[in-house]
């Protein structure tokens, strides 16, 4: 129903994409989103080894015959994962769409492009969008300050960031961050994007491979219940407000705080434990402000069908109605 350059490039029915999500972007969620006409994206680093990623790709293929992608998140990490081996696994598995995110994507983008792969690069600023465009990416996914994960250090929310990027970026764009329903979808198109990318909203779906208590936490948390962490380490992250993130913020506020002081609380393995056991005291839970708009846990198909159906009504009735209602003075 909404045909854009994004649906054309991705070969999907709808311009709705699920961004890579550590521990969540597994075959169950990814195939459900792709089967519902969106683009699901497996998260490469959720798999412990490149061979596990190959197996996860194969598993996903048994669950959908629709297009799906793989996310490769490039972290500024001291013990960096074996990125070239993950990249090779993606290419050799015949994946046709990749989402890159993070630092210094150039060598990865070049290799993916050389193998004919459609590359979505996710970033958080206009300057990074333009440099990714120069590298030859096909689609820019741009995350406003509202987003879960890493919103960067510029603090520009989507209402300004997306049109600012649209003024300069020529390839099609996905608006990301703070989108959870048809209102956000239509707004994104109005701001100059040609589709949306969502993270938090897809965590609160039936198929998301996380504990029901975490889905309930998202439903119960409002738009104020997130924390920004790692600000002083210039690697800002937006997470759900929980006892663990409260403690991280409290420790980080100390003038002499160093990363080692919070490290035991923020370890990725602890976050995984929280997601899988539902114990919010176990580790961080990553969510964005959009949780304030999430009130249910639908299937991915129900969610996507609702967004598209409501969006058509917003455009065809609500907005069109405004256009028709000429002010009396203008009619006179």
Ligand X SMILES: Cc1cc2nc3c(=O)[nH]c(=O)nc-3n(C[C@H](O)[C@H](O)[C@H](O)COP(=O)(O)O)c2cc1C
Q: Which is nearer to ligand X, 45 or 262 (by Cβ)?
A: 45
The residue written with tokens 């990553």 in the block is 286
Helices (H), the chain: 5-10, 27-35, 50-63, 83-92, 106-114, 126-135, 158-166, 182-191, 200-203, 212-220, 243-252, 259-266, 268-277, 300-313, 320-324, 328-331
**Backbone phi, psi, residue 140, to 5°:** -105, 130
Candidates 4-12, 13-21, 214-222, 229-237: pick the segment binding ligand X (CB under 6 A).
13-21
- Residue 143 CB, nearest distance to ligand X (Å)? 5
Give the footprint of ligand X on residues 99-138 (CB under 6 A): 101, 122
Q: Which is nearer to ligand X, 20 or 195 (by Cβ)?
A: 20
SS3 state of residue 207? coil
Q: Which is nearer to ligand X, 24 or 307 (by Cβ)?
A: 24
Q: In this structure, are residues 228 and 238 in contact, taking their beta carbons and an 8 Å threshold?
A: yes
Q: Which is nearer to ligand X, 257 or 278 (by Cβ)?
A: 278
Q: In this structure, are residues 16 and 38 in contact, taking their beta carbons and an 8 Å threshold?
A: yes
Residue length of the chain: 332
Give the footprint of ligand X on residues 174-233 (CB under 6 A): 176-179, 197-201, 203
- Residue 319 CB, nearest distance to ligand X (Å)? 23
Residue 55: C-alpha distances to residues 18, 42, 44, 201 (Å): 20, 12, 11, 27
Which of 13, 56, 138, 143 is the binder for ligand X (CB under 6 A)?
A: 143
| By the rule CB under 6 A, 73 interacts with ligand X | yes
Which of 287, 294, 303, 311 is the binder for ligand X (CB under 6 A)?
A: 287
- What's 20's DSSP letter? P
Which of 21, 57, 193, 244 is the binder for ligand X (CB under 6 A)?
A: 21
Residues forming beta bridges with residue 175, ordered by sequence position: 142, 196
Candidates 53-61, 123-131, 139-147, 161-169: pick the segment binding ligand X (CB under 6 A).
139-147
Which of 13, 146, 181, 194 is the binder for ligand X (CB under 6 A)?
A: 146
Q: Which is nearer to ligand X, 76 or 316 (by Cβ)?
A: 76
**Backbone phi, psi, residue 194, to 5°:** -120, 20
Cα–Cα dist 200/223, whole Å? 12
- Residue 98 CB, nearest distance to ligand X (Å)? 12
Q: In this structure, are residues 18 and 199 in contact, taking their beta carbons and an 8 Å threshold?
A: yes
* Other C-beta atoms lying within 10 Å of the C-beta of residue 163: 14
Residues 235-274: x/- map of binding to ligand X (CB under 6 A)? ----------------------------------------
| β-pairing verdict for 237-240 and 226-229 | antiparallel
Which of 290, 294, 300, 304 is the binder for ligand X (CB under 6 A)?
A: 290
Q: Which is nearer to ligand X, 133 or 143 (by Cβ)?
A: 143
**Backbone phi, psi, residue 196, to 5°:** -125, 155
- Residue 267 CB, nearest distance to ligand X (Å)? 15
Query: Which single residue brings its beta carbon nearest to ligand X?
Result: 199
Cα–Cα dist 175/165, whole Å? 10
Candidates 28-36, 81-89, 172-180, 321-329: pick the segment binding ligand X (CB under 6 A).
172-180
Residues near ligand X, by CB under 6 A: 19-22, 24, 43, 71, 73, 101, 122, 143, 146-149, 176-179, 197-201, 203, 286-288, 290
């Amino acid at each position: 129903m909404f045909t854009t350059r994004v649906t054309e490039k991705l070969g999907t029915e709808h311009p709705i994409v699920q961004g890579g999500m550590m521990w969540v972007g597994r075959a169950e969620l990814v195939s459900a989103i792709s089967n519902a006409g969106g683009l699901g994206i497996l998260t490469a680093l959720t798999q412990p080894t490149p061979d596990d990623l190959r197996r996860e790709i194969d598993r996903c293929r048994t669950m959908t015959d629709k297009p799906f992608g793989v996310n490769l998140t490039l972290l500024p990490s001291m013990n960096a994962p074996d990125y070239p081996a993950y990249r090779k696994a993606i290419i050799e598995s015949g994946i046709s769409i990749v989402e890159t995110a993070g630092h210094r994507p150039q060598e990865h983008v070049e290799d993916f492009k050389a193998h004919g792969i459609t590359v979505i690069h996710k970033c958080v600023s206009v300057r990074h969008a333009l440099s990714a465009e120069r590298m030859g990416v096909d689609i820019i996914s741009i995350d406003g300050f509202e987003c879960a994960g890493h919103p960067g250090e510029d603090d520009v929310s989507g209402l300004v960031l997306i049109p600012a990027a649209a003024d300069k970026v020529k390839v099609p764009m996905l608006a990301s961050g703070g989108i959870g329903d048809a209102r956000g979808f239509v707004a994104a198109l109005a701001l100059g994007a040609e589709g949306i990318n969502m993270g938090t909203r897809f965590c609160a779906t039936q198929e998301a491979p996380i504990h029901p208590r975490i889905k309930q936490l998202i439903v119960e948390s409002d738009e104020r219940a997130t924390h920004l962490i790692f600000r002083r380490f210039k690697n800002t992250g937006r997470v759900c407000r929980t006892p663990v993130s409260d403690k991280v913020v409290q420790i980080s506020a100390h003038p002499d705080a160093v990363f080692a002081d919070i490290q035991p609380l923020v370890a990725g393995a602890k976050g995984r434990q929280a997601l899988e056991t539902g114990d919010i005291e176990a580790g961080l839970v990553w969510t964005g402000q959009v949780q304030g708009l999430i009130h249910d846990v639908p299937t991915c198909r129900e969610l996507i069908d609702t967004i598209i159906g409501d969006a058509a009504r917003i455009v065809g009735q609500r907005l069109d109605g405004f256009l028709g209602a000429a002010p009396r003075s203008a009619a006179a």
